[in-house]
Amino acid sequence: MADTSLVSEKPPANFRLPSSPVVVQISVGGMTCASCVRALTEAISEHEGIVNVSVNLLGKSASVTVAHDGLVDTVLTAIGDAGFDGEVISVTPILGPNHPVDGALTSRMVELKVTGMPDK
């Protein structure tokens, strides 16, 4: 007879597997100068889970790398609280070489050629 003691009940409704880091591309309205860029960068960067922030004045956009997709709303709130308008253009997962994609593991091979080093 099979031991079913390790079989658990259904996970709670609020249970979520952690997601991978994502890059959020955002259209930003209301920026007029370099001070706006600095203020917006600082407003977004002060939140936990923000990995990288790049604000582009001419492109009226921001690219924000966050630890997981649950932080997208936090970024938009920070933009609004700083006095700007933000609209998500895209959210792109950053997948590592062993991150499951469609249930399969992926791998990558890198070949390096090093020149200028003496042979021993």
CATH value at residue 54:
3.30.70.100
More confident residue, 59 or 116: 59
Number of Cβ within 10 Å of residue 39's Cβ equals: 16
Q: Sorting pLDDT into bands at 50, 70 and 90, what band is 48? A: very high
Q: Is the pLDDT of residue 103 over 70?
A: no
Establish if 34 belongs to a structural domain.
Answer: yes
Computed over its alpha carbons, how large is the radius of gyration of the chain? 21
Establish if 37 belongs to a structural domain.
Answer: yes
Establish if 42 belongs to a structural domain.
Answer: yes
More confident residue, 35 or 14: 35
* Domains: count for the chain: 1
Establish if 12 belongs to a structural domain.
Answer: no
Cβ(112)–Cβ(101) below 8 Å: no
Number of Cβ within 10 Å of residue 22's Cβ equals: 21
The rounded distance, in Å, linking the Cα atoms of 100 and 49 is: 22
pLDDT of residue 112: 73
Average pLDDT over residues 90-103: 67
Q: Sorting pLDDT into bands at 50, 70 and 90, what band is 49? A: very high
pTM given for the model: 0.66
The percentage of residues in the chain with a pLDDT greater than 70, rounded to a whole number, is 70
β-strand partners of 25:
63, 90
Establish if 15 belongs to a structural domain.
Answer: no
Containing structural domain, residue 51: 22-93
Q: Sorting pLDDT into bands at 50, 70 and 90, what band is 105? A: very low
